[in-house]
Structure 1
Amino acid sequence: MTRLSINVNKIALIRNSRGSNFPDLTGFIENLLALGVVGITAHPRPDQRHVKDDDIYIISKIIERYPNVELNVEGFPDRRFINLIKDVNPAQCTLVPDSPTQLTSDHGWDLRDSFILESAILDLRSSSTRIALLIEPNKEDVLLAKEFNVDAVEIYTENYASKAKENEANLALQAIANACNVAKREEMIVNEGHDLNLNNLDQLLRTCSIHEVSIGHAFTVECIHHGLNNVVSKYLEICRKY
């Protein structure tokens, strides 16, 4: 079964926009876990516009009560983020190449020019957290990620998810599949995410063997249209097939 991790940043963004605790982020997470979701992803950015650093501590305490649920914390590996990870010790942290002004994650690391990663990964090794790198969907970047001694890669899927024409989507899907195969050969965990939704997830999982998918923006929009319980049920139905 592919693990389903829900990114709760958009729920936190809605909460922050009114300066109150509505919607209640922790209550929303509790509902997700009660419905069978086995992963929570959160990306506390430096400006705290989505999930905040303080939220990570609270979310971590919630997840401690669920032995089969994992917390994945995403972020740029600056000193603030590294200290947060070492303090909270989530099951997984995913290092992403976000700049402070970036609207959202929109590309994987350039692993040929990423001097910051080596020292950050070495520092994070003092914790038991599984370390993942967000990478572009190609075999070369998988092999470069392996050289950084990380446990997992998260393959950036926007190039597949955004293709309207079937032939273009198939080419993008094949690139992801090739990268997955190399990662498996190198005994790395394979996660995937970005712009996945109920319409494109099934084909991706049918083609690629994936440990975990992380879905947030589309999930939030789909819940507005179809309701939380219904949308979680549909995602779990897809993930449990593969």
Structure 2
Amino acid sequence: MNPLIAAHAVGRDGRTALSVNVNKVALLRNTRHLGIPSVTRAARLILEAGAQGITVHPRPDERHIRGSDVFELAELLREWPHAEYNIEGNPFHNLMDFIRQVRPHQATFVPDTVGQFTSDHGWSLPADIDKLRPLIDETKSLGVRVSLFMDPIPEAMAHARAAGADRVELYTEAYASAHGKPEGAAVLARYVQAAEAALAAGLEVNAGHDLSRDNLTDFLRAVPGVSEVSIGHALIADALELGYTETVRDYQRCIQRAFAPQPAQP
């Protein structure tokens, strides 16, 4: 095990944890029948570089992460007791089977349709509470933390808590699209308000979708109490140029800058 992981275990140093989504590694592998690039090899290199967790989103059609990957990564993570395993998906499709068998540290419930290209919206609360609550209760009874994928709607956060969730993952595509544009400040303010509402309701806060080296620091400087970011597409794209090790270290530098003291304004 890399000793860096023990020193930077999730949440212990007060900074946001980095969980890397390896779906895109699997997507590239699936274009041929050679088994390369290896998903487990990628995960090992990512953890060795200092990431605090691994995320997968196995969809029913297995177009990227396969069921076998889920179990192989679970076995790999036994070597990394301070790293976190986060399995995402729709609990009304195939997610619950994995949760029951693997019992990861965290299950992120996402309201995807079966053939959806990528996650593009959060749960509708309170409308979805009654159907979610039994699965949330079951998941928590297995010792697995539950996070709900949510749009940045402050008034929905109390409903997420009422459903039994431990965390929410704020869907950040709107922030990423607006970053650096005139509307960026107003969009970011919605995430600040949503995070504040989540924390006030007793939830912890995760975030993910289209976060990158260009926008991550600004997000974490503004949005309070983000326990974990889950980053896949941009990070794996960067790794094609920089390699896994330097890419993970650079994302960690982005996080570190967000928590560094800011110079006083004149």
- Fold-level similarity (TM above 0.5): yes
Q: Distance in 2 between matches of 1:103 and 1:5?
A: 21
Unaligned runs of 5+ in 2: 1-14, 260-266
- Residue 165 of structure 1 deviates from its aligned partner by 5.0
Residue aligning to 1:19: 33
Is 1:220 the counterpart of 2:220 in the alignment? no
- Residue 79 of structure 1 deviates from its aligned partner by 5.8
What letter is aligned with 2:177? S
Q: Distance in 2 between matches of 1:28 and 1:211?
A: 23
- Residue 128 of structure 1 deviates from its aligned partner by 0.3
Matched residue pairs, number? 242
What letter is aligned with 1:177? V
- Residue 135 of structure 1 deviates from its aligned partner by 0.4
Aligned partner of 2:105 among 91, 96, 103 = 91
Alignment of 1:22-61 (within 5 A): 22-61=36-75
Residue aligning to 2:85: 71
Residue aligning to 1:131: 146
Aligned partner of 2:178 among 163, 169, 173 = 163
What letter is aligned with 1:119? P
Is 1:232 the counterpart of 2:248 in the alignment? yes
Residue aligning to 2:211: 196
Residue aligning to 2:133: 118
RMSD: 1.4
SS at match of 1:6: strand
SS at match of 1:82: helix
Q: Distance in 1 between matches of 2:93 and 2:172?
A: 28
Q: Distance in 2 between matches of 1:210 and 1:164?
A: 18
Aligned partner of 1:151 among 166, 184, 190 = 166
Is 1:186 the counterpart of 2:193 in the alignment? no
SS at match of 1:128: coil
Aligned partner of 1:211 among 227, 236, 241 = 227
What letter is aligned with 1:80? N
Identity of aligned residues (%): 37
- Residue 113 of structure 1 deviates from its aligned partner by 2.7
- Residue 18 of structure 1 deviates from its aligned partner by 0.7
What letter is aligned with 2:87? V
SS at match of 1:85: helix
Is 1:175 the counterpart of 2:190 in the alignment? yes
Residue aligning to 2:20: 6
Q: Distance in 1 between matches of 2:137 and 2:97?
A: 13
What letter is aligned with 1:16? N
Q: Distance in 1 between matches of 2:156 and 2:73?
A: 32
Asked if the contact 2:89–2:110 (Cα under 8 Å) also holds between the matched residues in 1, the reply is yes
